[in-house]
Amino acid sequence: MKILNRLGPFLGLIAVLVLFSALRPQTFATAGNFQLILLQTAVVGIAAIGATIIIVSGGIDLSIGSNIALCTV
């Protein structure tokens, strides 16, 4: 049960991926679409890594979303 709790979000993501791939295989399950998804999530992923380091070190700073919004303007 502990493993299921840890892997729950990942399994949910895989289930959504399989669902959309089955519903729209000609548009969703393409290499170009997967590349676009990875490119769009790269900025948030890098910011999440930076926020994780700050939170783990004890300096809790949850304003990363506002900093990203300010930098993109």
Q: Which residues are within 8 A (CB) of 44 and not within 5 positions of it... i.e. 6 or more apart?
A: 68
* Mean pLDDT on 48-59: 80
Q: In Å, what is the CA distance from 38 to each residue of 31, 34, 61?
A: 11, 6, 26
Domain ranges of the chain: 2-71
* Mean pLDDT on 42-48: 86
Q: In Å, what is the CA distance from 8 to each residue of 4, 16, 19, 25?
A: 6, 12, 16, 25
Flag whether pLDDT at 34 surpasses 90.
no
pTM here is 0.52
With bands split at pLDDT 50, 70 and 90, how would you rate the model's confidence at 61?
low
